[in-house]
Structure 1
């Protein structure tokens, strides 16, 4: 190549630095975020008012309903907890709710493991029978349940409520937990059997920890409706000392209809366990609801 050809060859164009394009958020995403935050604020506003008004005196609530609780006054909690028998109602709710959740979750977990692992026409029929319980709300059967409990001597019994709530939660619990058991590889059970583990050891030590998010999710979703249920305790209980919080609150409201501060304190006492439960189990609930979405 001659020197003249080298001089006349055109030079390559200069390389321009690439500019990074800014990622714009879709309009729909922005509107959705604003709508969700607005809904969250509107949903939390009554809760905030309930808590703040519980730390004010009744005279302050009458003169300034939306004022700040300063200085805070906890006298209404003493009235609700001792004079209003909220302590007794609180203990009754804990016994009934935790007992029912324990019965429902234990039975459903063991049944789900068997239904998910045994390939049999009979077991499919049993699973369909369990899941058919989701088709009818349990409150529609209040009359036959009352006659059944009367025949069994379970009227005015907290044990009867525990068994009732535990049995009513089995269909939903099996529907959720059996799905998780089917996602667990069968090779894990075969490896456990080769190591000398029996069926019970395989279930407790290997399978149960793998489906823990589902078990926690089911327990939380059963805890809330049992804790808030009003109809069955009202119909099946006679002794006021056995009332749970939802029924006890009605009696407390009737006795303190003019003491608004004490009423707000009673509502806060009823709500605290639900808030604490969701705060402690949020991670497990999210894991249980989103498991399998990336598969």
Structure 2
């Protein structure tokens, strides 16, 4: 029987473990503080910031839910995010397929044009986007955000999906072509099943970006309680004379991040598979 070799804790290995633990703490401690603060009184959040007293129970959650009409805000966020995400995938998948199966200079030019989208800061396009919304008579509407968000997400979505689709063996497409399959059938039956991890990765990244969008939603949709999203509603918890109940804000933040955690819990396995496949093939 082969004996297991013990890992030597050299200074480099020990230092790596220390850095990993420190990085984990920088991620866990803020989340821990956020969660326990949502169940504490305003006084306890200041006097005992890291002690889980649970002095207020779930009162802050019910207060935030009623004060901000959180149910309506959640539905608005879900509506904008879900429809925008579907449109992003519907547009990005065919574009990525066309770039992945093309080998000419034109395809290279188009791919570089998509990549140039990363060079444009989001706030730089705010004024032209606002003027466009007014011109289309979609100012103060959720529908314009449903058009804007997929457009802003195309560079990342197309570039990532193109790389995933290029890993599909050419022999599979040739076999499907010999069997009489057309382009759309090849895309649906060959490429889509093999790029599900990539689509899951793009979906998670874009869901987080769409759900947390604040600046454009504030400017385009506004603060109308019937139309505003969760991210626009939360800052209105600012109290009188600039005094903010941080326990109340923490409760609202916990409510707002729950959908992100649920989506990640559903799709994280697909995303992990995509990362592993990319590492093996790379």
TM over 0.5: yes
1:111 to 87, 90, 95: 95
Q: State the aligned residue count.
A: 278
The alignment partner of 1:169 has SS state of helix
The alignment partner of 1:67 has SS state of coil
1:137 to 87, 103, 121: 121
C-alpha distance after superposition, 1:140-178 (max 9, x if no partner): 111111111111112111111111110011011111111
Report whether the alignment pairs 1:241 with 2:226.
yes
Q: Which residue of 1 aligns with 2:161?
A: 177
Structure 2 Cα separation of the partners of residues 162 and 19 of structure 1: 59
| Contact 2:80 2:146 survives alignment (8 Å) | yes
The alignment partner of 2:238 has SS state of helix
Q: Equivalent residues in 2 for 1:202-281 (5 A)?
A: 202-238=186-222, 239-254=224-239, 257-281=243-267
Structure 2 Cα separation of the partners of residues 151 and 285 of structure 1: 39
Which sections of structure 1, spanning at least 5 residues, go unmatched?
1-17
1:286 to 249, 269, 272: 272
Structure 2 Cα separation of the partners of residues 264 and 73 of structure 1: 13
Q: Which residue of 2 aligns with 1:52?
A: 36
C-alpha distance after superposition, 1:4-50 (max 9, x if no partner): xxxxxxxxxxxxxx998644144312211221112212321121121
Q: Give the stretch that moved more between structures: 112-121 or 67-76.
A: 67-76
Structure 2 Cα separation of the partners of residues 52 and 20 of structure 1: 43
C-alpha distance after superposition, 1:234-269 (max 9, x if no partner): 111233321111111111334795544322210111
1:82 to 56, 66, 73: 66
C-alpha RMSD of the superposition: 2.4
1:27/1:65 Cα in 2 relative to 1: closer, same or farther (>3 Å)?
closer
C-alpha distance after superposition, 1:58-82 (max 9, x if no partner): 4544664443234671111111112
Deviation, structure 1 residue 207: 0.9
Structure 2 Cα separation of the partners of residues 250 and 269 of structure 1: 14
Q: Give the stretch that moved more between structures: 143-152 or 31-40.
A: 31-40
Structure 1 Cα separation of the partners of residues 193 and 238 of structure 2: 44
Deviation, structure 1 residue 231: 0.8
Q: Equivalent residues in 2 for 1:58-77 (5 A)?
A: 58=42, 60-61=44-45, 64-70=48-54, 73-77=57-61
The alignment partner of 1:242 has SS state of coil
Structure 2 Cα separation of the partners of residues 62 and 116 of structure 1: 55
The alignment partner of 1:291 has SS state of helix
Which sections of structure 2, spanning at least 5 residues, go unmatched?
none
Q: Which residue of 2 aligns with 1:15?
A: none
Structure 2 Cα separation of the partners of residues 101 and 20 of structure 1: 48
1:188/1:19 Cα in 2 relative to 1: closer, same or farther (>3 Å)?
closer
Bigger radius of gyration, 1 or 2?
1
Structure 1 Cα separation of the partners of residues 3 and 245 of structure 2: 66
Q: Give the stretch that moved more between structures: 67-76 or 170-179.
A: 67-76
Report whether the alignment pairs 1:99 with 2:80.
no
